[in-house]
Amino acid sequence: MVGRLAGKNCIVTGAAGGIGLETCILFVKEGANVVMADINPEALEKAAAIVNHFRTDTEVKQVICDVSSEQSVQELVAAADPWGGVDVMFNNAGIMHGKDDDAINTPEKIWDLTQNINVKGVWFGSKHAVLSFRKHNKKATSVINTASFVALMGAATPQLAYTASKGAVLAMTRELAMIHAREGFRFNSLCPGPLNTPLLQEWLGDDVEKRFRREVHFPSGRFGEAIEQAHAVVFLASDESSFVNGTDFLVDGGLSKAYVTAQ
């Protein structure tokens, strides 16, 4: 059976984390070659071992990369050159810092760190993907940038640097989609709802009140799972979504459409 991503070379940043790892697994299952990139070498090693378990006749590479460094991202994108260049770029790495707070209490260095990784990282990934698409004369490519549902909704629980960064991802992705549409380069944002991954669960920790302030708003009554995001990413990466461009692709269990939740 031919996979939905057969013949595609894919790069995933934040590949050792919740969404990134699940996506890499689905990408290789769907027949893609995958470059897995993460800043955390030990976690990346473990994640790559898992992904390799699902690999058949495709290739998997690991690259240690800090997406906030342009040189690091340039080297990452070059890792797909021996395969004929990248076709799918998933700019997914992101942080939500424990000291991220409201306008008064967010330290400036946390603000800067968050924007450097969450916004500049997506810009560098998009920029070097476009340069590579042109270099390899690609005509049908897909860039998926991970934003968040908080880019579309006002959160009453403060995480100001993170929220601002994800709003920037959404706006940047929309413009990239327009600018490059006639070259055949698609750009979409993935907007996950709150998930069962370390990023959010470690941030919430055992703060019951903080957790309840969120859980009460879930129409489905539960956090989302990383695999549920990964399935959406496969669609956006594949040619099945060839006419989907510039979207804020929400995978949030209906959270953003809720007025009040059912009992």
Segment contacting ligand NAD by CB under 6 A, of 178-186, 189-197, 205-213, 241-249:
189-197
Among 26, 36, 39, 89, binds ligand NAD (CB under 6 A): 39
Q: Tell me, yes or no, if 162 is annotated catalytic.
A: yes
By beta-carbon proximity to ligand NAD, the closer residue of 11 and 19 is: 19
Neighbours of 229 (CB within 10 A): 25
Using alpha carbons only, what angle is made at residue 116 by residues 249 and 42, rounded to the nearest 5 degrees?
A: 85
Which residues on neighbouring strands pair with residue 189, listed in sequence order? 145, 248
In angstroms, the Cα distances linking 251 to 26, 147, 201, 206, 226 are 17, 11, 18, 26, 10
User: x-or-dash pattern for ligand NAD, window 83-102, by CB under 6 A?
Assistant: ---------xxxxx------
Q: Does 194 bind ligand NAD (CB under 6 A)?
A: yes
* Contact mark string toward ligand NAD, 148..177, x via CB under 6 A: x-----------------------------
Q: Does 253 bind ligand NAD (CB under 6 A)?
A: no
Name which of 47 and 177 has its Cβ closer to ligand NAD.
47
Smallest gap from residue 67 Cβ to ligand NAD (A) = 4
- Closest residue to ligand NAD: CB criterion: 17
| Structural tokens at position 157 | 């629980």
Query: Which tokens in the block code for residue 151?
Result: 């880019």
In this chain, which of 11, 16, 80, 232 binds ligand NAD, going by CB under 6 A?
16
In angstroms, the first-to-last Cα distance of the chain is: 44
d(CA 95, CA 14): 10
CB atoms within 10 A of CB 233: 28
Q: Find the catalytic residue in 124, 133, 149, 162.
A: 162
114: three-class secondary structure by DSSP: helix
Cα(247)–Cα(233) distance, integer angstroms: 13
Residue number with CB closer to ligand NAD (67 or 89): 67
Q: Which residue has the tokens 């069962």?
A: 196
The phi and psi torsions of 225 (rounded to 5 degrees) equal -110, 150
145 touches ligand NAD (CB under 6 A)? no
Residue 189 touching ligand NAD (CB under 6 A):
no
Amino acid at site 247:
T
Q: Which position among 19, 86, 168, 236 is part of the footprint of ligand NAD (CB under 6 A)?
A: 19
Site string for ligand NAD, 52-71 (x = CB under 6 A): -------------xxxx---
Look at the chain and count its residues: 263
Q: Where on the chain is the footprint of ligand NAD (CB under 6 A)?
A: 13-14, 16-20, 38-40, 43, 65-68, 92-96, 117, 146, 148, 192, 194-195, 197-200, 226
Provide the annotated active-site residues.
162
